[in-house]
Structure 1
Amino acid sequence: MAGCSPPRGATWREHLLHLLARQGKIVAKDVAAELGISEDSVRRDLRDLAGEGLCQRVYGGALPVSPAVVDYGARRTVAPDGKRKVAATAAGLVRPGGVVILDGGTTALAVAYALPRDLACTVITHSPPVATALLEHPRAEVFMLGGRLFKHSAVTCGAAAVEAARNVSADLFLLGVTGVHPETGLTTGDAEDAAMKRALAARAADTYVLASSEKIGTASRYRVLPWEEISGLITDAAPHNPVVEQLAANGVGLLPAD
C-alpha cells in the first residue's frame, strides 16, 4: 500500500476516508502495518466512521457505503440518469405475455415507467409506487403482494409478504439492491427487505439485478443473493471500471445500459 502515510495536516480519520475513496476498500491489518499502529486502532476508527454512515464495515476492514441507503424520497434524486438507462435496458427484457416480478425502489419505479404503454404482460410487485405507476398501462395486469409497509423503501415485507411471494411464479425478477461488490456480493440495508428479495428471486426463472453506477463497488449490511443465483447484472457503469472488470472476470453476466 504505497503512499499510505497521511498527507501533512490530515487526521487519521481523513486519511482513512482518503484511502477508501482511492482504493475502494480498507484492509485493517495492511493499514496498521504500513502506518506502524495497532490494528485495534484502525478498527476503532472504522467503527466510528461506520457509525456516522461514512463506510460499511466488513470482515477485516471496510468498503464504501452505498448512497442508496437513504430514505425513498431522497433516493429519487440520486443518479436519475443512470437509473433511467438501467430501467430502459431492464424494460426490454419483459416480453409480451410474460410475467415479471418487479422489486421496489427508485430504479424499479423507473422500469415501470419505461415499459411500453401498450405492452400486454403481468407484473407482480410488493411496491405501491410501482403498482400506481402501472395504472397508466392498460394492458398490464398488476398483482400486489401485501404485508407490512416498510416506509423507508415503500415496499411491503415481513412474514405475510414472504408467504404471499411463495404463491406466485414468474419468468423474470428485476431485483433492486443498494450495494454491488465482488467480495460482499449483492446487499441491502434492511434484513426483512433482504429476506423478501430472496423469496421473490426463488419464484422467478431468471433474476436480473438493477445496478446503476453509484451502487457499484459499495456495500450495505445484509446480503441478498450469491452471484451464482442471478442471471445477469444491468449497469450503466463503464466497462473499464475496476469493479465491473472484476465481476466480468468472476463470470458475472453483464448487460450494459447505454
Structure 2
Amino acid sequence: MTVYLDAGTTAHAMRPFLEHVTDLTVVTNDLATVQAFIDHPRADLICVGGRVDRTNLSTIGRLTRLSLAELSLDLAFISSSSWDLGHGVTTPVEAKIEAKRAAVEVAERSILIADSSKYGRFAKYRALRLDELATIITDATLPDSDAEALSSAGVEVVRA
C-alpha cells in the first residue's frame, strides 16, 4: 500500500496507526513526518522534493507537484488548517495548493484529516473542493448539523 501523508501535525500523528502495516510505502512532503517514519521497521519512505517552507517544515510548490505527479498512490491523507462546506479545503499559502492537488490527482482515494476546530474557517486560497475527497475524518465534536450537511453534499464523514 502506498499512502501520502500531507504536511501537518494531524498527518504526522498517524505514525502509531501505521506501525504494524506491512508492505507500506509512505510518501510525504513533511520533514517531521519523514523523521517520524525513519525508524519504521517495514515502511519504504519517499520524501517529495521542492522548495522548503521553513514555517511548517515541508516542501511546497511546483517541484513538489512534479514529484508527486510521477507516483501512484492508494490513499492520500490531506490535512488542512481551514475547511468548510462552502469553501472546501483552503490555505493561506498559495504554494501549498500544488502538493494537495497533485496528491489527490494521483490517488485512488483521498481523505481529509482535520479536526473540527478548523471547520467553518477559510483562508485566501482554495486547494480542493470537498467533493474531490472520498472521506473526511474529523473528531467527534463536529456538530451533528455540520456532519449531516457534509453527508448531504455527498462526502462520507467519519467522526472519531
Q: What interval of TM-score do these two structures reach, taking the shorter chain for normalisation?
A: over 0.9
- State the partner residue of 2:156: 253
Cα deviation digits, residues 87-110 of structure 1 (max 9, x gap): xxxxxxxxxxx1101111000110
Give the counterpart of 1:186 among 89, 102, 116: 89
Task: Tell whether 2:123 aligns with 1:220.
Answer: yes
CA drift of 1:118 comes to 5.5
- State the partner residue of 1:200: 103
Give the counterpart of 1:138 among 41, 62, 84: 41
Contact kept, 8 Å, 1:118 with 1:137, in 2: the verdict is no
Superposed CA RMSD in Å reads 1.5
- State the partner residue of 2:146: 243
- State the partner residue of 1:34: none
Contact kept, 8 Å, 2:51 with 2:61, in 1: the verdict is yes
Q: Distance in 2 between matches of 1:202 and 1:118?
A: 24
CA drift of 1:117 comes to 4.3
Task: Tell whether 2:59 aligns with 1:156.
Answer: yes
Gaps of 5+ in 1: 1-97
TM normalised by structure 2 equals: 0.92
Q: Distance in 2 between matches of 1:244 and 1:211?
A: 13
Greater helix share, 1 or 2?
1
Give matches, 1:85-104, under 5 Å: 98-104=1-7
Residue identity over aligned pairs, in percent, reads: 31
Greater strand share, 1 or 2?
2
Q: Which has the higher contact order (CA 8 A, sep 6+)?
A: 2
Contact kept, 8 Å, 1:217 with 1:243, in 2: the verdict is no
Cα deviation digits, residues 147-197 of structure 1 (max 9, x gap): 110112211012221111111111000000111211111111211101221
Cα deviation digits, residues 63-90 of structure 1 (max 9, x gap): xxxxxxxxxxxxxxxxxxxxxxxxxxxx
TM normalised by structure 1 equals: 0.59
Larger gyration radius, structure 1 or structure 2? 1
How many corresponding residue pairs?
A: 160
